Structure 1
């Protein structure tokens, strides 16, 4: 009896230890990259580099938070780049053509993006279609709507939106500070709420969740809806930085998002993930790209190196899962 009662505590302790080791490993990798690029480029370790990075990553950060939720429940959403472009297009149309102020146009973009995520979740859940396939369809729908809304042209908004990306505190913008706040809130939701436990349970064993008397479908749809809403917030950050909405924006963004989440240690098989680890994964991707650019690596070679890092991260995740199974 004593052994069985101590099992849950031992399991929690093992999970905390595994998470701590993951944080240490990611931080060590990030530090090693910074040291390497500091030797290769004399301008890398400068305030200008890190200020630029902090103001470039908010869209990637918030979308990676949403993708972490999706991967934890065992799904995937390939439409996020197109949904971000559609949200940006709706925001620009509201401001440029309808004369709406930013505080009214921004929620419109977020709501439209959230509806796209809800559509993906509902079709995937109710018809039991893999979210991979459904999100491919939504990807095309959202991109087509973005072209329709903007007449396939970049909409220039101007300085009415630049306040969100203008540095205010040690070179950091409201967009970056908001992204950090979203990371903190999302980590608390995942680790301290019933909803977070449901998501982890669904990704680990959805049938067990169902047999325990909990309907997993609303929680799964909510994860996709949140992914959409966060893509809408990412659109606001991107439009603010560019002062324009590009219907071609976000092409390939889904690959960057998935790469950051996987590098952060979230399992592609579901059931395991951390928002803080995802944030470190975003930093690793961003530092890698910035460092390679500063040392003069060509764009094709940058893609090759980034792809190799992703493959290595997936291989390490496979070994990590095997180790956890053997430990049990």
Structure 2
């Protein structure tokens, strides 16, 4: 009996650490293929390229933990960034005010999603997918698919260095740690996990499941908008391709990190962060090798299948 329990525990431990083993193997492979892969310059590039997806991934982690999924995060990122950029460039609004407006707009879209799911009782997948389509249409109408260049006040943030890193990299890493502390140690975070683990039991404990799911959608939207702010600083412009497929890349990343699609399990750090970083490393390594861009899409699909399979095995154990 004890032996079977020990074997089960060993299997569960191996499954829980599979992502880290995969990450180490990935780094070793790309390091052997390119002498430039392990350079400090390349890893700063990897961190910079991961900031947007990390922001979106933080929000998605909260949605997944309560057992829901937000498919509008990519379009929400583009919507928040585009509206704020238009206000800056075409209407002369204060750039710093518009930067703050981006995550607030994202949170507002998350609020609408959450109300439709928790109060109107519509399916989250259909609600957020419909919201995605609506936001894309609104942005196309507002921008006429023309790229919007950020004013100099926004670009100046790229020149600020903290510990040798761009300020927006340090900022999102600090926010990541803060959100993990909230998720892991606050009453709010523990109740979110309880809702995702078993919402019926959570209701019996007096937890308002609807309000906590609503809060998770607002957080998801807020961090999508925050991602728009980060990409504005990083790229210096809002293009018509911004946000396309980001929701699927972010889901791939957080699921790769071990955040469960079934709800009730996951963390911002290290799980979501590890998933985002590994996915960015794979994209960086394939680019360095000159691989076809579509190969990365195939890799993402395979990762989703494998991690969903591992997740289903863990849930059955």
Give the TM-score normalised by structure 2. Answer: 0.91
Q: What's the offset of the Cα at 1:102? A: 2.2
Q: Of 287, 296, 299, which aligns to 1:302? A: 296
Match of 1:70 in 2: 63
Aligned pairs for 1:142-181 within 5 A: 142-166=135-159, 168-169=161-162, 171-181=164-174
In structure 1, the partner of 2:189 is 196
Runs of 4+ in 1 over 6 A off after TM superposition: 17-23
Aligned-residue offset at 1:100: 2.1
Deviations 1:264-292 (A, max 9, x none): 11111111111111101101100011111
Is residue 217 from structure 1 mapped to residue 222 from structure 2 by the alignment? no
| 1:215-254 to 2 correspondences below 5 Å | 215-254=208-247
Partner of 1:292: 286
RMSD: 1.9
Task: Report the CA distance shift for 1:19/1:233 in structure 2 as closer, same or farther (over 3 A).
Answer: farther
Partner of 2:81 in structure 1?
88
Q: After superposition, what is the alpha-carbon deviation per residue over 1:64-117, rounded to whole angstroms, capped at 9, x for unaligned?
A: 011000001010000001000011111211210122232211122222111111
Q: Which residue does the alignment assign to 2:105?
A: 112
Q: Provide the C-alpha distance between the structure 1 equivalents of 2:157 and 2:18, rounded to a whole number of angstroms.
A: 33
Deviation string, structure 1 residues 174-224 (Cα, Å, up to 9, x no partner): 111111111111111111111111111111111111122222111111111
- Tell me if structure 2 keeps the 8 A contact 1:111–1:232: yes
CA distance in 1, matches of 2:17, 2:266: 15
Identify if the C-alpha distance between structure 1 residues 24 and 163 changes in structure 2 by more than 3 Å, giving closer, same or farther: farther
Q: Supply the distance in 1 between the matched residues of 2:41 and 2:171 (Cα, whole angstroms).
A: 20
Any unmatched runs of 5+ in structure 2?
1-9
Q: Identify the residue that residue 5 of structure 2 maps to in structure 1.
A: none
TM-score (norm 1): 0.88
Deviation at 1:22, TM superposition (A): 6.8
Is 1:55 aligned to 2:15, yes or no? no
Answering whether residue 40 of structure 2 is matched by residue 40 of structure 1, we say no
Equivalenced residue count is 307
1:22, 1:265 within 8 Å by CA — same for their partners in 2? no
Distance in 2 separating the partners of 1:216 and 1:183:
25
